[in-house]
Structures are given as C-alpha cells and as structure tokens.
Chains A and B, each alone.
Chain A
C-alpha cells in the first residue's frame, strides 16, 4: 500500500524495496518540473533526511526520504523527461528505490486519506 509523508513524498513497499516519489499534490504545488537532481545509487539515507532536489521553473525544492535504507535504483528517465513528475507523480514519475533497513517505518507514514487531509489543509 502506498503511504505518504507529511513532507509530501510517497513510498510503496514491495518486499524489501520501497519505491519513492513526490505526491501529486506536491507536483501541482511545484509547477513545471524542469530538472531532477537524482540521488546517488549506493548511498544510504535516514528517514527525514534530504534525498534529492527537484527544480521547477521557479525554484528548487528538497525531497526527503520517507524511509531509511540504501538507494538501489534511481529513475534515469527523469534525466531526459523531468516533466514526467508532473504528468505521473505517483507512478511513472517515481524518483528512487530504497532497500529499507526498517520496514516498520512504513507504519508511521500516513495513508492516502490522512495525507489528503493534510494536503488540503495546507492549501
């Protein structure tokens, strides 16, 4: 099941591998994405730490790791088509895959309904 962080990332766990991206709400707030500064494969991150940054036409925004672990893959397609983040933030626009060190961290993330509530309040 897809879970969300308060900082607008999503994570979907499949076995030990979590796929990470930014929420559809986040891409809408960012506007036209023109560059994704992809994280480095092999690096380990802790939940809440900066994972990478995304550049829209107007500004750069940090993306935080929703779960801890080792980055095992990044979405290379975003190098040539960063706008995929706008078109499909929660599917084709995924950013990285993380081999999670503590699957229980998923439990502390929000479900879709909980996240939608936060997202609509912020607006």
Chain B
C-alpha cells in the first residue's frame, strides 16, 4: 500500500528529514537528532507537522448527547470553546482510541483522533450513531495540523497571530487567523510543554510552516519529528495508542480515571468500569526506572521468577538521562518503590516503580 503524505511532505524532504512509515503515513522521524529536537521543545519551542492526525465531525441536534455516550469523558460539562481529552471505549471498556473532543456548540463537536485509527474510529462512531440525530463526517482531508510546542511558543506565535493567544486557556480553543490563515487554534499538545495546535486548510500548510520557522529562527525554533514527539510525550506520561493503551486495556487500568465521568447516566464501557472500580483492578500502568538496560514495548516484567506484567513504552529519557519505562504490572506490585526486574535481551535488569509523570514542563494547568 502506498503511504499517505501530508501537505508538508516536500518540506520534510527539503529539510533532509529521515522519513519513516507511521500509521500508514510517511512522516519525518527526525531532521537532525531526536535528542536535539527534544531539547529544543523543552527549552525553546519546536514545530511539528501532525497533519496525519484524523478529524471527525459530529454535527446535529444530538451531537453532545451522542458524544457523551461515545466517550468516557464529558462533553456536556464543557463550555463552547473548551476541549476534553478522552478515551473512546468498546462496550467491554477496552479502548478503541484516545481523542480530543472540541465543543464548538451544542450541535457541533470536533474529534481529533490518532492517524492509524482514523478509519476504524470513523466506522465505529458511524455505527454507534445510529438512532441519534447526528451526522458523522470524516473531515481529515480538509485539515492540515501543526503543533507548536515549548515554553516560548506563545511569545513567538503572537507575532503572527490575529487573535489574542493569551486568552486561550489550557484545553480551550478559538477560531481566527494565524499569519492571515483561518485556523482552529487550541492550547493543547503532546509534549508536556505549553503550546498550541492549529488546524487549517492544507493548501496553506507550506506557507504557515515556513512562516513559523522563519519568525522562530532567532529564538532557536526547529522543526521536530515524530521521534522527539514520542520521547516528549513519554516523559510527560501521555498515552500512545497501540503502545500504552489498546483494545486489551481499560482507562482505569491505564490510570486515566480522571477522564472517566461515572456520573454520566450511560456510556460505552460504563458497566465494566464501575465494576472495575468496585472490585479493584488486576493490573495498573506504572512508571518504572531501570538500571542496566533500556526496556522497550513488549518486554516482560518480573518479581523474582514470577512474570507480573509487560512494558508498554520505554527509552532513555533525554531530559532526565535515566532509563525509564511505562508498563502494566499486577496491582500488588504497583506501589511506588516496589522492586522488580525487566527481561532486557535475556538479561534481567533491576528496576523499581516510580511516580508519574516522569517530567512536567511548562504545560499549563486547568
């Protein structure tokens, strides 16, 4: 199958990016070095092409009621112009995908989903919407998306923004012009730093991309690839679908209880989640620090000779300079400071459960 390309593909080529396949897309892994790009975002600001992300529009009289049934978090509790992060579950409470829900109004909710899941999500949402007064449309092709992330992002983006960025609070959005281009602009991100995500006409992608890099150059802004996006989100302990969460895990097991609104009368997975909450969880996602090796997705976790779980994500943290990992462990081994070991290429590396997130940067709070 031919890989999909974002409207910025030729820019990535021109900048000498290392391109890799990701979720059916040919995307930049890195332009120079993952560590260098990671540090730019932690210290200054970095620009990411995330046009591969999917956008699904839910419109109609039941848009909010339906979305509340569809996801675990609550859209009905949002004001217009606010956003929530949420898992979207199957009936058995395992996760179809995780997404951002932008509430435009009582009749319009804009969902941003993972690139590799867009097709699956659209089918699922469409099927779930039967009986509701809503139209569900996959509008992914209508949007390019840029993420501009880092402590200096507001200061720099302000120079070309036709809207007052300081008025966009964490997890809210507005529509307006950036560099004369109509955008949806939200204060959201996947890095643990302050920052913005912009959705706009793909035809304007090259112009906006170049403009932000140009005005940012005096501050040290750099284009950043998916490699840094992954290490940044990992340090902030944001979930990566397919790694940390999937259709074998529930939001509660993943530590996403804060995104599950059990006060809602009904939503997909509610019964199971209520039961898990009452009876207790068998496994939990935990942060693990490791000595003597780097744990990767799928590696097994042991307590003595007993297998007690598996790693979901792991790398050497560029900010903290330690080998860290996320992984599911049986609940009785999930307390902070619990010693365990990880099978790294046939050798057991010692580790212990530590607090998450591993790192919190300039990201705002609600």
Contact = CB atoms under 8 A, between A and B. Distances in A.
B296 A57 contact: no
B227 A35 contact: no
A60 interface: yes
Contacts of A60: 294, 296, 345
Interface residues of B, number: 18
B316 A31 contact: no
A56 B35 CA distance: 10
A60 B316 CA distance: 11
B316 to A, nearest CB: 4
A75 interface: no
Contacts of A59: 296
Nearest to A57: B34
A53 B33 contact: no
Contacts of B316: 34-35, 55, 57
A73 interface: no
B293 A57 contact: no
A84 interface: no
Given A57-B35, A59-B296, A31 B30 contact: yes
B323 interface: yes
B351 to A, nearest CB: 14
Nearest to B321: A34
Tell me what chain A mostly uses at the interface: helix, strand, loop, or mixed.
strand
Contacts of B294: 34-35, 55, 60
Interface string B276-295: 00000000000000000110
Given A53-B345, A57-B227, A32 B35 contact: yes
Interface residues of A, number: 12
Contacts of B318: 57
A34 B315 contact: yes
Interface in A6-41: 31-32, 34-35, 37
Interface string B315-327: 1101000010000
A35 B316 CA distance: 8
A58 interface: yes
Interface string A52-93: 010111111000000000000000000000000000000000
A79 to B, nearest CB: 10
B341 to A, nearest CB: 16
Interface of B: 18, 29-30, 33-35, 227, 230-231, 293-294, 296, 315-316, 318, 323, 344-345
19 contacts: A31-B29, A31-B33, A31-B34, A31-B227, A32-B33, A34-B35, A34-B294, A34-B315, A34-B316, A35-B294, A35-B323, A53-B345, A57-B231, A57-B316, A57-B318, A58-B227, A59-B296, A60-B296, A60-B345
Which 8 interchain pairs have the tightest Cβ spacing? A34-B316, A57-B34, A32-B35, A55-B294, A32-B33, A35-B294, A32-B34, A58-B227
